[in-house]
């Protein structure tokens, strides 16, 4: 067994230890969790060193075009597995679906209208400068947020309102931003947008949906709070935070901003042909990558796009 495999086995055994936290007395959980987190950080460091060392070693050239059996260096390739983000994205969609939300997929190429105008960003609006977007030579935009789908979703499900129902939809998708890449920032990542519209939608309902989602995803009760935010397409706009619990590596006294949300701006409803004097709605959007990092104690978002099999095989 290689050093990499040995460290992986240790990590798997360590992950099982976290399940014991809930059985400990409250006063014992803090020290137990700290010890586990330190051990996991050390094992992850050793794993990365082992991976880097293996990649720096000499690799025997092989002819990948040779038929099986002719080139003796070619080993049988096992069936691949799903990327961890895809697995977790399905879990996110399933939670919302059980709460009554339809699930549709976002586009990976969009335009100025859906990126800005339909979201109450008029031409020349200063908030446009906050989105350092990629653009194609033809003028298309790889979306910088899944909010580009709000207008389409509102129009697509508008008939549900007109028939006495409501609009309830979530939209997971891949987004792209022209950012400097580091341990907490990527140019390519995933978000999930949510929209709810009815005759009596309230901010209280929105907070209830958010709290229910995060508690279901992380499998535990969570304290929540909000703080003022700003998005041209919602008013009022809020940032939604959860208190980082000990079971997720927290100390019980820190807060994590998880997503932006708010009541849908009347102008956005009007653009979709929905009368804001009759209907109200709320919307939210947040990253999937960060959800998964917190859930599994990952410290570097670049792992998801790295293509490193040693990391992906952990899932």
Beta strands in the chain (DSSP E): 102-103, 167-176, 188-198, 224-228, 234-243, 255-264, 280-287
Residues 54 and 31 in one domain: yes
Residues 120 and 232 both lie in one domain: yes
Sheet with 255-264, strands from edge to edge, namely 102-103, 167-176, 188-198, 280-287, 255-264, 234-243, 224-228
Q: What is the pLDDT of residue 110?
A: 84
When pLDDT is averaged across residues 57-82 and rounded to a whole number, the result is 54
Q: Which among 77, 97, 126 is the end of a domain? A: 77
Q: Does residue 72 have a pLDDT over 50? A: no
Find out whether the peptide bond into 236 is cis, omega within 30 degrees of 0.
yes
> For a pLDDT cut of 70, what percent of the chain falls above it?
85
Residue 269 domain-assigned (yes or no): yes
Which residues on neighbouring strands pair with residue 224, listed in sequence order?
Answer: 242
Based on the fold, state whether residues 119 and 240 are members of the same structural domain: yes
Of 77, 94, 126, which marks where a domain is finished? Answer: 77
Judge if 175 and 64 occupy the same domain. Answer: no
* Domain membership flag for residue 124: yes
How many distinct structural domains can be found in the chain? 2
Does residue 309 lie within any of the structural domains? Answer: no
Whether 18 contacts 40, CB under 8 Å: no
Q: How many helices (H) and strands (E) does the chain have?
A: 11, 7
Domain boundary residue among 77, 109, 130?
Answer: 77
> Could you tell me if 47 and 80 are in contact, meaning their C-beta atoms sit under 8 angstroms apart?
no
Q: Do 257 and 132 fall into the same domain?
A: yes
Q: Is residue 127 part of a domain?
A: yes
Provide the residue range defining the domain that includes 222: 84-296
Residue 97 sits in the same domain as residue 44: no
Assign 243 a pLDDT band (cuts: 50, 70, 90): confident
- Residues 30 and 138 placed together within one structural domain of the fold: no
Judgement on whether residues 70 and 89 belong to the same structural domain of the protein:
no
Asked if 123 and 221 sit in the same domain, the reply is yes
Contact 202, 185 (CB under 8 A): no
The model carries a pTM of 0.71
pLDDT at 74: 42
Find the mean pLDDT for residues 146-156.
91
Higher-scoring residue by pLDDT: 141, 204: 204
Q: Is the Cβ–Cβ distance between 152 and 267 less than 8 Å?
A: no
270 and 123 in one domain? yes
Both tokens assigned to 159: 């008939």
- How many CA atoms lie less than 13 Å away from 163 in the CB half-sphere? 5
Q: Is residue 310 part of a domain?
A: no
305 within domain boundaries: no
Q: Give a yes or no: residue 308 inside a domain.
A: no
pLDDT of 194 higher than 70: yes
User: Is the domain of 37 the same as that of 177?
Assistant: no
Can you give the pLDDT at residue 70? 44
Which ranges of 138-276 does DSSP label H, i.e. alpha helix?
A: 150-156, 158-162, 203-218, 266-271
The answer to whether residues 45 and 94 belong to one domain is no
- Residue 144: CATH number of its domain: 3.30.930.10
Contact 50, 3 (CB under 8 A): yes
Of 121-135, 246-260, 281-295, the poorest mean pLDDT is in 121-135
304 is a domain residue: no
For residues 88 and 288, is the Cβ–Cβ distance under 8 A? Answer: yes
């Amino acid at each position: 067994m290689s050093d990499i495999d040995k460290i992986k086995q240790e990590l798997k055994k360590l992950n099982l230890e976290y399940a014991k936290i809930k059985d400990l007395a409250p006063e014992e959980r803090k020290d137990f969790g700290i010890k586990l987190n330190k051990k996991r950080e050390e094992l992850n460091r050793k794993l990365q060193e082992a991976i880097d060392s293996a990649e720096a070693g000499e690799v025997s050239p092989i002819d990948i075009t040779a038929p099986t059996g002719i080139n003796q260096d070619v080993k049988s390739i096992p069936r691949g597995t799903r990327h961890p983000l895809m697995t977790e994205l399905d879990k996110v969609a399933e939670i919302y679906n059980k709460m009554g939300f339809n699930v549709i997929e976002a586009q990976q190429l969009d335009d100025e209208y859906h990126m800005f105008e339909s979201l109450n960003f008029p031409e020349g609006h200063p908030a446009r400068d906050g989105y350092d977007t990629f653009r194609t030579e033809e003028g298309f935009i790889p979306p910088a947020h899944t909010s580009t789908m709000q207008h389409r979703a509102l129009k697509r499900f508008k008939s549900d309102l007109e028939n006495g129902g409501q609009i309830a939809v979530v939209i997971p998708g891949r987004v792209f931003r022209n950012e400097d890449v580091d341990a907490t920032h990527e140019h390519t990542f995933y978000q999930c947008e949510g929209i709810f519209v009815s005759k009596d939608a309230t901010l209280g309902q929105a907070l209830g949906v958010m709290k229910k989602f995060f508690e279901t995803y992380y499998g535990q009760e969570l304290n929540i709070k909000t703080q003022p935010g700003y998005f041209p397409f919602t008013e009022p706009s809020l940032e939604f935070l959860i208190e980082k619990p000990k079971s997720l590596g927290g100390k019980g006294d820190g807060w994590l901003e998880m997503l932006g949300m708010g009541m849908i701006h009347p102008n956005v409803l009007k653009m979709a042909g929905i009368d804001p004097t009759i209907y109200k709605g709320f919307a939210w959007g947040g990253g999937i990558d960060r959800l998964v990092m917190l859930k599994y104690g990952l410290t570097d978002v670049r792992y998801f796009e790295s293509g490193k099999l040693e990391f992906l095989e952990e899932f």
